[in-house]
């Protein structure tokens, strides 16, 4: 049996460069490698309600945005099943049973959840649903028997939580659930792309993103106002490239072809910089201005985003069909999840309709009780 892959995104905004390098590129690669049995891609609208209960419209509006972004990046619905979480109610049932296998203290220790609580300004008013979302993610992953979950590194604690639930479940109720494994992008800069403001993570909820659907002008504006090394004030100052978002983005996006296209001297044919190491070395020793590297980054990003933007533009003329893709995917996903739920309930022992042994034993128990009481009455 080949691999089964599950990944997803919250429809809390359009997808950004962090999603592209952190997860979507890997999905497309896996999808096109053919080395898998099934790929499920979840638009986690139910999960997005956990921190948007007062703004469901935002979640609903972003479903189509995320779907358009997927398709324009090369997710192919004939190979990958794209579905809506809220269309698969079996996931809530699974979450309910898994909740008993996790302690509150364990949830409170989850570093990603802790960080997100700060970002969202919940302080002590944390919705219970939000607090338990790592459990619902375990339901999403196990419902489809996924063994591979391609994610950015902020998701590692979630996958660890899922693995603990799987182990506990299988120990208590017998081998039932598949143990999943997170797969991170090989390129370290892609595992957690920083925000344009220099914060550790580009994130929709923080609003420090370059979106895949941004216009060329918006991308240029955002790149040109990006945070760099705050101590690199004059061109001649030595600069830091490590942790400098402009260089992290270059690490994540630029390819050899970009040096050949952008840095070639039209007269001599020579390259001003042969590769990223040379560009970094120049910045570090001083003499290379922020403007110049930002212009190069802008060139690289425009080159990456132009085909995605064009595909999106075309898909925007077929919105009803895109919804239909989601509905078809959801029907397919629901079938698989309901099979898993039946297995899970059977393993726990909550399968009354098929538990003939239980029914027979109850019948026998009452027959015996009645026989005994009849004997007693006769003997009186």
Stretch of 67-75, 149-157, 315-323, 335-343 contacting ligand ATP, by CB under 6 A: 149-157
Comparison of 97 and 247: residue with beta carbon closer to ligand ATP: 247
- Between 135 and 288, whose beta carbon lies closer to ligand ATP? 135
Does 202 interact with ligand ATP (rule: CB under 6 A)? yes
**Count of residues near ligand ATP by CB under 6 A:** 18
Q: Do 89 and 134 meet the contact criterion of CB atoms below 8 Å apart?
A: no
Binding to ligand ATP by CB under 6 A, coded x per residue (else -) over 15-34, reads ---xx--xx-----------
Q: Is 134 in the site for ligand ATP (CB under 6 A)?
A: no
154 lies in the site for ligand ATP, by CB under 6 A = yes
Q: Which is nearer to ligand ATP, 114 or 335 (CB)?
A: 114
Provide, rounded to whole angstroms, the least separation between the CB of residue 10 and ligand ATP.
Answer: 4
Q: Between residues 18 and 77, which has the closer beta carbon with respect to ligand ATP?
A: 18
Q: Nearest distance from residue 120's CB to ligand ATP, in Å?
A: 9
**Interface pick for ligand ATP out of 30, 77, 139, 201 (rule CB under 6 A):** 201
Q: Closest distance between ligand ATP and the C-beta of residue 51, in Å?
A: 8
Radius of gyration of the chain (CA): 26
> Closest distance between ligand ATP and the C-beta of residue 48, in Å?
7
Which residues form the interface with ligand ATP (CB under 6 A)? 9-10, 12, 18-19, 22-23, 151-152, 154-155, 192-193, 201-205
């Amino acid at each position: 049996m080949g691999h089964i892959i599950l990944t997803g995104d919250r429809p809390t905004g359009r997808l950004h460069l962090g999603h592209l390098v952190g997860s979507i590129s890997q999905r497309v690669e896996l999808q096109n490698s053919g080395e898998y049995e099934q790929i499920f891609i979840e638009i986690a609208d139910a999960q997005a309600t956990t921190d948007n209960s007062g703004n469901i419209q935002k979640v609903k509006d972003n479903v189509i945005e995320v779907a358009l972004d997927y398709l324009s990046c090369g997710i192919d619905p004939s190979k990958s099943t794209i579905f809506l979480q809220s269309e698969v109610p079996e996931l809530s049932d699974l979450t309910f049973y898994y909740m008993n296998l996790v302690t509150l203290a364990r949830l409170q220790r989850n570093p990603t959840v802790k960080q997100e609580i700060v970002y969202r300004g919940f302080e002590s008013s944390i919705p219970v649903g939000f607090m338990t979302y790592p459990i619902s993610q375990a339901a999403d992953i196990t419902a489809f028997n996924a063994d591979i979950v391609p994610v950015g590194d902020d998701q590692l604690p979630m996958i660890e939580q899922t693995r603990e639930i799987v182990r506990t479940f299988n120990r208590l109720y017998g081998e039932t659930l598949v143990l999943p494994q997170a797969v991170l992008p090989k390129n370290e800069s892609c595992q957690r792309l920083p925000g344009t403001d220099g914060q550790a993570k580009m994130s929709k909820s923080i609003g420090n993103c370059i979106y895949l659907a941004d216009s060329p002008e918006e991308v240029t504006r955002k790149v040109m106002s990006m945070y760099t090394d705050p101590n690199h004030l004059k061109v001649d100052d030595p600069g830091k490239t490590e942790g400098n978002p402009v260089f992290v983005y270059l690490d994540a996006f630029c390819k050899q072809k970009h040096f050949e296209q952008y840095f070639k001297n039209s007269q001599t044919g020579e390259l001003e910089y042969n590769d990223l190491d040379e560009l970094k070395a120049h910045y570090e020793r001083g003499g290379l201005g922020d403007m110049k590297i930002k212009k190069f980054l802008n060139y690289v990003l425009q080159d990456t985003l132009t085909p995605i933007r064009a595909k999106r533009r075309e898909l925007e003329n077929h919105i009803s069909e895109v919804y239909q893709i989601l509905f078809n995917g959801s029907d397919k996903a629901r079938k698989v999840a309901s099979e898993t739920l039946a297995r899970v309930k059977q393993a726990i022992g909550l399968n009354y309709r098929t538990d003939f042994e239980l029914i027979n034993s109850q019948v026998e128990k009452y027959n015996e009780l009645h026989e005994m009481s009849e004997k007693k009455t006769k003997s009186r």
